[in-house]
């Protein structure tokens, strides 16, 4: 059994798509939803799926190893970032090498880095006159959006598209591809032992 922890800060639509994808699986379990936002919509989604939620604050995340130890105690195989806005601490990245994945709403290396998330990305894509955007699923390191890419998918951006139009197109790609790519990554991982 492969065990996933999903980190999310917002509404949790990608977390829900992943939970849907693996619902009833004999091989994969969503063990935890981990969030830094006690008002995040993902918490309600987690309750509907009976997935335990762990909340933490900035001090706990960056100045202790509490979250890392919790994930290790749960024998988590893969950490999936689904709209999680904080940089992962070095100790957590080192404890889970090539076992943390993120989805970015643009075609990295374009439109990545600190401050480039959500609507800021789509506004930048439109302002730059790009003819396409998309998603990048990548491994996570200690820097924003610099981990090795795993998968990209593209969508057209027309001259009349607003940032909201681009966001809708990109979200379709996220929901279509992220669960499958997570499954593909899981399939390559050896089992973790306690």
pLDDT at residue 103 in the model:
97
Domain assignment present for residue 101? The answer is: yes
Alpha-carbon span 86 to 194, nearest angstrom: 27
- Which segments are annotated as binding site for (6R)-10-formyltetrahydrofolate? 58, 102
pLDDT mean across residues, the chain:
96
Is it true that the peptide bond before 109 is cis, omega within 30 degrees of 0? Answer: yes
Domain holding 88, by residue range, is 2-107+137-152+174-188
Query: Which CATH number belongs to the domain containing residue 142 in this structure?
Result: 3.40.50.170
Give backbone dihedrals phi and psi of 141, rounded to 5 degrees, phi first.
-120, -160
| Of 189, 183, 185, 122, residue with least CA distance to 157 | 122
Instruction: Give me the pLDDT at residue 48, please.
Output: 95
Residue 180 located in a structural domain: yes
Statement: residue 133 has pLDDT above 80: yes
Tell me the pairing of strands 2-7 and 132-139: unpaired
Predicted model pTM? 0.95
Q: Place 190 in a pLDDT band, splitting at 50, 70 and 90.
A: confident
Residue 130 falls within a domain, yes or no?
no
Predicted pLDDT of residue 194 = 43
On whether residue 55 sits in a domain, the answer given is yes
DSSP 3-state percent helix, strand, coil across the chain (nearest 5): 40, 20, 40
pLDDT digits (tens, 9 = 90+) for 49-59: 999 999 999 99
Binding residues: 12-14, 58, 102
Q: Is residue 86 part of a domain?
A: yes
Looking at residues 140-160, what average pLDDT do you find?
Answer: 96
Active site residue 122: no
Active-site position among 104, 122, 138, 177:
104
- Asked whether residue 73 is assigned to any structural domain, the reply reads yes
Mean pLDDT value of segment 118-129: 97
Q: Provide the 3-class DSSP secondary structure of residue 103.
A: strand
Beta-strand pair 78-81/100-104: parallel
| Site of tokens 């820097």 | 143
pLDDT digits (tens, 9 = 90+) for 163-187: 999 999 999 999 999 999 999 999 9
Interior angle at CA 75, CA 99 and CA 5, nearest 5: 55
**Structural domain count of the chain:** 1
Q: How far apart are CA 87 and CA 89, in angstroms?
A: 6
For residue 193, what pLDDT band results from cuts at 50, 70 and 90?
low
Residue 153 half-sphere exposure, CB side, CA atoms within 13 Å? 15
Question: How far, in Å, CA of 18 to CA of 21, rounded?
Answer: 5
Quickly list DSSP for 110-175. Answer: TT-STT--HHHHHHHHHHTT-SEEEEEEEE--SSTT-SPEEEEEEEE--TT--HHHHHHHHHHHHH
pLDDT confidence band for 192 (50 / 70 / 90): low
49 assigned to some structural domain: yes
- 64-110 per-position pLDDT tens digit: 999 999 999 999 999 999 999 899 999 999 999 999 999 999 999 99
Q: How far apart are CA 108 and CA 98, in angstroms?
A: 18
Q: Which residue has the higher pLDDT, 193 or 130?
A: 130
- Please report whether residue 194 resides in a domain: no
Share of the chain above pLDDT 70, in %: 98
Cα-only R_g, the chain: 16
């Amino acid at each position: 059994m492969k065990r996933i922890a999903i980190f999310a800060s917002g509404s949790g639509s990608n977390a829900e798509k992943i939970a849907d994808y693996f619902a009833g699986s004999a091989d994969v379990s969503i063990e935890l939803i981990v969030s830094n936002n006690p008002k995040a919509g993902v918490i309600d989604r987690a309750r509907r799926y009976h997935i335990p939620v762990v909340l933490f604050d900035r001090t706990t995340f960056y100045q202790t190893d509490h979250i890392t130890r919790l994930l290790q105690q749960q024998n988590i195989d893969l950490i999936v970032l689904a709209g999680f806005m904080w940089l992962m601490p070095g100790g957590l990245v080192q404890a889970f090498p090539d076992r943390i994945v993120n989805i970015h709403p643009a075609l990295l290396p374009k439109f990545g880095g600190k401050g480039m998330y959500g609507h800021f990305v789509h506004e930048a894509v439109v302002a730059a006159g790009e003819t396409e955007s998309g998603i990048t699923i990548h491994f996570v390191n200690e820097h924003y959006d610099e981990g090795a890419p795993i998968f990209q998918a593209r969508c057209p951006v027309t001259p009349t598209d607003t940032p909201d139009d681009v966001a809708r197109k990109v979200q379709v790609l996220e929901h279509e591809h992220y669960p499958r790519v997570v499954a593909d990554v899981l399939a390559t991982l050896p089992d973790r032992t306690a």
